[in-house]
């Protein structure tokens, strides 16, 4: 796990000075595990060069499937217009890992052009990806979501994720004058209750109660009720992956997530407009390391 732990540590220092070494590792690293870790970290060091390197690694069919899968996942968070076409082609790849992460990425990007192919995958590809579940189930997540969409979807090809939006979000968060003052790698947070268990890791499967609402008007878009939710932390938005590991088991944290670390221009729920700053109050009940 050392390579991936190093990749997680990069999030604490995610600046453009890391770009050359990450690209070099992705292209020339001697071990697939190290190349995969570099791809994983690139979603936090986003630039035109890293996007091109991720696309190149993904297109390389002689590359290890795990590396290509991590590249596809990273492109979900850090991409350009052309990345959509790269991932759409990947849905037809024979590798189950590549198909799985392409389905995830295109779902995150809200690209409805993927729906016909994803429907075929739901019906035909029952292969299990180690540590996760079947390719069909991952494809089904976006297909089922698409059926429930009753709101206009943002045209991804006339919008781009930008540093300008991040500055807008920062000013909005400061102007909101909340009690959340500390910042960790772009996520604003305050510890509501200190936990007495072990520190949460980004690799954990967490059990948590939570409430999520929009900073702009306080409207709740999601929350647990009688039972806590259980999910692998790495499957959630980047804001959770950065914020929740600040907490120990038994603790409760409030985080404010700028849109670039949430859904950005993507629209994953009717109650979350594009470029929304999200607020979560999260109580961590349990956290289990991967077996």
CA–CA gap between residue 290 and residue 5 (Å, rounded): 14
Section 196-214 average pLDDT: 93
pLDDT tens-digit readout, 150-170: 433 444 443 445 567 778 888
Domains and their CATH numbers in the chain? 2-148 (1.25.10.10), 167-288 (3.10.50.40)
Calculate the alpha carbon distances from 116 to 139, 154, 274 in Å: 11, 19, 24
3-class SS at 180? coil
pLDDT value, residue 65: 92
pLDDT value, residue 154: 43
CA–CA gap between residue 28 and residue 10 (Å, rounded): 19
pLDDT value, residue 52: 92
pLDDT tens-digit readout, 107-154: 877 778 888 999 999 999 999 988 788 999 888 877 766 554 443 344
Minimum mean pLDDT range among 18-27, 38-47, 202-211, 249-258:
38-47
Tell me the pLDDT of the chain averaged across its residues.
83
CB atoms inside a 10 Å sphere around CB 23: 21
pLDDT tens-digit readout, 219-250: 999 999 989 998 888 878 889 999 999 999 99
> Does the structure show a pLDDT above 70 at 98?
yes
Section 54-68 average pLDDT: 93
């Amino acid at each position: 796990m050392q390579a991936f732990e190093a990749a997680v540590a990069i999030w604490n220092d995610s600046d453009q000075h890391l770009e050359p070494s990450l690209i070099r590792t992705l292209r020339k690293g001697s071990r697939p595990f190290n190349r995969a870790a570099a791809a994983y970290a690139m979603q936090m060091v986003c630039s035109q060069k890293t996007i091109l390197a991720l696309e190149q690694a993904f297109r390389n069919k002689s590359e290890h499937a795990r590396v290509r899968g991590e590249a596809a996942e990273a492109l979900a968070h850090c991409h350009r217009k052309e990345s959509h076409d790269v991932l759409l082609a990947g849905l037809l790849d024979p590798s189950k890992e590549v198909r799985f992460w392409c389905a995830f990425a295109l779902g995150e990007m809200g690209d409805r052009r993927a729906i016909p192919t994803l429907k075929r995958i739901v019906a035909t590809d029952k292969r299990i990806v180690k540590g996760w579940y079947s390719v069909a189930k991952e494809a089904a997540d976006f297909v089922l979501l698409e059926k429930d969409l009753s709101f206009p979807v943002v045209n991804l090809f006339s919008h781009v994720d930008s540093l300008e939006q991040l500055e807008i979000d920062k000013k909005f968060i400061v102007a909101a004058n909340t009690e959340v003052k500390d910042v960790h790698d772009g996520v604003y947070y305050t510890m509501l209750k200190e936990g007495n268990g072990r520190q949460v890791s980004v690799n954990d499967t967490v059990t948590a109660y939570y409430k999520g609402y929009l900073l702009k008007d306080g409207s709740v878009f999601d929350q647990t009720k009688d039972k806590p939710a259980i999910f692998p932390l790495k499957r959630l938005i980047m804001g959770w992956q950065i914020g929740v590991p600040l907490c120990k088991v038994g603790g409760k944290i409030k985080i404010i997530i700028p849109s670039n670390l949430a859904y950005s221009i993507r629209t994953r729920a009717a109650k979350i407009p594009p470029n929304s700053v999200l607020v979560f109050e999260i109580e961590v009940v349990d956290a289990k390391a991967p077996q």
